[in-house]
Structure 1
């Protein structure tokens, strides 16, 4: 390319850039700038969402830490079974002397006295243990499964092990061997490749010679996790979330974060580093959390799906519903002693350094050691979760907020205003936010579909250029189509008020069948199947079709009919115009769309419609009974649309540049 042609090429590039800016400006003319982070996800370890759910670990009670404070019938041997095929015999017991790490105190000791003859059916003999996983282990033929365990030789002789996957009848699906010959704790790894599919497999660890050995943190992971991450996520569940294209993920929970009493608060430092050093504990929903899905994994998952991380830390107080107070309105809030507050404030600051600090910083180095030298670019941090706004809470929140604001003004603090859309804590929380000029506060409410329909103007009167809202938890009570469509109507009002509502996320997110503590959830699942509810499809249709400019008076409808709702947004990155129309009524209703203000538009658009019977809902056996239907439709500068009864329609329209 000669100089003249090079100059011409540069001129074309510059002109194209300014033409694009002109196009963007014209397309946005008359639009209102709204949040580009409006719709995201809230993940809480409730309903077995993490262990046995999104976290792909297949072994249950892998570190022998289950105990009766979690479930009355639990003990360190729960979900393990002593096995001794071929008339072998020995003993097992749980010990705590010289564990791998103080955070992981229990381990099993296997004392093998005699190895018998090979069992006729399985062809193996030995003394060992068997794990049934979370209601059975799902394995697929020819896939790879990564086995590991920590072990140490306690007797005079090395101990050889046969590791295998078996059916419930004992048929061997995969088999390998491991030899333990070190007197110190050491990690042993192997790969198992099943010969057939099985939804109820068991993992068997058999010592095949006499000896004594300690075992701990026995693990089995599918190699095919989401994006093939070690210690990663269940691929199909994670993909369901990635498909929503959420702008953020709030984690690790709501009530789980501040916990059932001070000793049960979720402390992020206990959830990073090598798995054997992480601290397991009972969560507030009364089951065990291994912390295998910890802060590093949460941040990495956010990065993998292009969502901003929003960690929520306790405001140095426990949940007001701690102990036996769930049924009496909550009086169990406890506060960290003031002489511990400086250390706790530093814990919050350390998280920001861990997420964003350079590798030369103390906590940035720990992030790098875990495999992520680049910063995670943390932008938001939540302090507190629907707390009772007591003097103790206010005093501690002020200390944390002031410290973060002083040292990390680039990080936006999200405060809290209690568990309800109104009331004493709501009023006190908002006053505190106004006094301190907290950038964002977290509102929560669960209520009826009718409430969502009748409160679509809630945020119209909120003050602009002041504290913004994060609607961190909301849902109508139920997973029928009518619940989802009521939420869709309300979400159009969130878009309309996207200049004051910064973020919103439905809750709870995941629920394992037969292991639920909350009756309304977005996605139900078992080990094999996934049931996306109508609520999921509404959330996905909004989240995957977000815009950063809102346009009024594009969709004409009967303004007196509360069952009708609509919004129009534009994605400035693509130039797409996105129209959303909701009909909560029981008959089709007309709407008129006028796109005259957007310049030239493409004649064909993508249309997605979710509709059906009001009481229709999906199940694990029929997960697509209510699901959206997509098509290509013709559009013009002005066109009419008949919104079906009980429906959400999204039309995505390309603009011509």
Structure 2
């Protein structure tokens, strides 16, 4: 390692500027545009969704009511009722487990002598309400015999003032769905929903719901539009869902079961979220999974944003960091059948059992599923034993489905080595590598895949993020971490014949409800912003290209020499060369990129710069684009592209080529 590279790496770690070099001769790079080294997978840069940090309920799922069907472990959690209302029988939570095991509880409200009863829902750290927005309220209700009850629905602002109202008059003693809409008169960041029952007798209520009219594509049971738009802007090649560790569950009873997340929303079985109490310093006892965002909605989201779906299924193993529970191998058949049935749900004809359910839910056309993950982050011989049984059953019936397989929680060590050796011998399709490490690791491992076996299984960089130093679990999404990831990703792109997919993790985090950091996108009840890491991902995904061509210095790949990292692709569709340059040093670096194998280059190209003067700089809700791409033209002379890479920066250059 050169002395300058050592000094520059120290600068990246400390945030200190390096003294300018006295010699400012440009670094001379050569691009061999006629030598295609690999094709870039259309799925190359994707996104990984896990319901952590209130990403689903309270996040991208637009439902505003928390514990809408009283199924939390504390049945009235999220609701405020008058003091003594439970003990006096004014409100009781009735459990009808034998009649409805998926959604057994409902609220029985008996009106007191004053003939009114009020209850308030706090939402997910409050409700984000926007002035002028229409809100759609609904509930299932039935009157108790001989009753006459009217329901008044009020939206309250942060101070408790009514900013929207409507009424419903239920009729009949059988369950019916009632709906009403109204418009909010003001904006509230932490609003609440107030329900007031007046009249005589009593009423039973369940599935109390409030959605904004403006969801993604205006769908009922829809998704929060601004968050989905941030995902769509990434132009992701795939969507991996639903996790993550929630696939496993702390134990098998609370594993993710996709069949319980499809069909009628009112019949989906809520479970505790495994991140509920995982971290004592960020405990969230009100964190559950309603599955309003279920497998159908995940497939639909993938289709909406042009991403290939990549569902991950439980392989008969709970989280090995928690219970380590496994299902007996001779009882694994239901788990395997779930995988086979999921493929039918995604791709089967409308006359098949699960294809018919997909059609009934509004999507008769298949979702074109091509990949499936077996387990999340498992390790050891117990995983291999179960994976082998899954693989045989799936390949026998669906030989074209490519399987994604775990290599454990770390990118090295005994667990990794065992699975890497074993699964390669089993000729696995895709191996899923995970790395959460300091920025220095990412800088030092940009050449990780240069020596990988070109004929072996493909690699999925399924979860990665550079973790800067933080306190109380808050690893900040600063420019230092994003810059290190940009450098590392040059190595992923350069080795696109081996690495076919990559995704940052986790994806989303509520600023008032997170458990894990850093995260790609942060939001509150009204706003959202992309981190510097988000813009790194966006620049790679939006400048993906179709084939990799070499960029060299002194006949070697550029992976940290003089603190510079580089990769190049050609976009055959647009006829452009795309050069990516990362300067990890605190000093500017002039470069000259000579392009061989082309007749000529256009006289000008497009330069996109992502940079900051401080490695500790971050974006925020108040300054969402403090670090964001800047675009400008760049002059090109002959067949050489010249520029000076600013300190601590990521450059993307696009220039038309004439072959």
Same structural fold, with TM-score higher than 0.5 when normalized by the shorter chain: yes
Match of 1:507 in 2: 505
**Contact persistence 2:38–2:495 (CA under 8 A):** no
**How far did 1:99 drift?**
8.3
Distance 2:331 2:595 in 1: 59
Residue 42 (structure 2) pairs with residue 36 (structure 1): yes
TM-score normalized with structure 1 length: 0.88
Higher relative contact order structure (alpha carbons within 8 Å, sequence separation ≥ 6): 2
Change (3 A) 1:169 1:275: same
**Contact persistence 2:190–2:525 (CA under 8 A):** no
**Contact persistence 1:28–1:549 (CA under 8 A):** no
Distance 1:574 1:229 in 2: 34
**How far did 1:377 drift?**
0.3
Residue 309 (structure 2) pairs with residue 320 (structure 1): no
Distance 1:248 1:449 in 2: 25
Match of 1:325 in 2: none
Unpaired runs of 5+ in structure 1?
1-25, 68-74, 117-125, 323-331
Distance 1:510 1:250 in 2: 13
Distance 2:560 2:210 in 1: 58
Change (3 A) 1:498 1:100: farther
**How far did 1:137 drift?**
1.6
**How far did 1:620 drift?**
2.4
Distance 2:402 2:228 in 1: 27
SS state at 1:540 partner: helix
Change (3 A) 1:275 1:335: same
CA RMSD of aligned residues (A): 2.1
**How far did 1:168 drift?**
4.2
Identify which range, 336-345 or 291-300, moves more after superposition.
Answer: 336-345
Match of 1:194 in 2: 184
**How far did 1:32 drift?**
2.8
Match of 1:617 in 2: 618
Match of 1:471 among 461, 471, 482: 461
SS state at 1:230 partner: coil
Distance 1:343 1:372 in 2: 26
Distance 2:175 2:560 in 1: 71
Distance 2:418 2:552 in 1: 38
**Contact persistence 1:566–1:581 (CA under 8 A):** yes
Match of 1:569 in 2: 569
Match of 1:111 in 2: 110
Identify which range, 251-260 or 518-527, moves more after superposition.
Answer: 518-527
**Contact persistence 1:555–1:566 (CA under 8 A):** no
Match of 1:606 in 2: 606
1:111-190 pair list within 5 angstroms: 111-115=110-114, 126-190=116-180
Change (3 A) 1:100 1:617: farther
Match of 2:448 among 458, 463, 466: 458
Match of 1:280 among 254, 270, 276: 270
Residue 403 (structure 2) pairs with residue 401 (structure 1): no
SS state at 2:192 partner: strand
Change (3 A) 1:336 1:274: same
**How far did 1:83 drift?**
5.5
Match of 1:59 in 2: 65
Match of 2:307 in 1: 307
**Contact persistence 1:39–1:248 (CA under 8 A):** yes
**Contact persistence 1:554–1:594 (CA under 8 A):** no
Match of 1:337 in 2: 328
Change (3 A) 1:486 1:247: same
Identify which range, 551-560 or 135-144, moves more after superposition.
Answer: 551-560
Change (3 A) 1:493 1:552: same
Distance 2:40 2:225 in 1: 33
**How far did 1:487 drift?**
0.7
Distance 1:560 1:227 in 2: 44
**Contact persistence 1:173–1:194 (CA under 8 A):** yes
**How far did 1:219 drift?**
0.7
Match of 1:644 among 615, 636, 646: 646
**How far did 1:241 drift?**
1.1
Tell me the alpha carbon deviations over residues 313-348 of structure 1, each in whole angstroms, 9 at most, x when there is no partner: 1111111012xxxxxxxxx32111234212221111
Match of 1:543 in 2: 541
Unpaired runs of 5+ in structure 2?
1-31, 277-286, 469-476
Tell me the alpha carbon deviations over residues 541-584 of structure 1, each in whole angstroms, 9 at most, x when there is no partner: 11111122011036789777252101111223333321110000
Match of 2:595 in 1: 595
Change (3 A) 1:558 1:143: closer
Distance 2:202 2:336 in 1: 46
Distance 2:158 2:416 in 1: 53
SS state at 1:52 partner: coil
Match of 2:494 in 1: 496
Change (3 A) 1:576 1:100: farther
Change (3 A) 1:133 1:598: farther
Residue 372 (structure 2) pairs with residue 373 (structure 1): no
SS state at 2:405 partner: strand
TM-score normalized with structure 2 length: 0.88
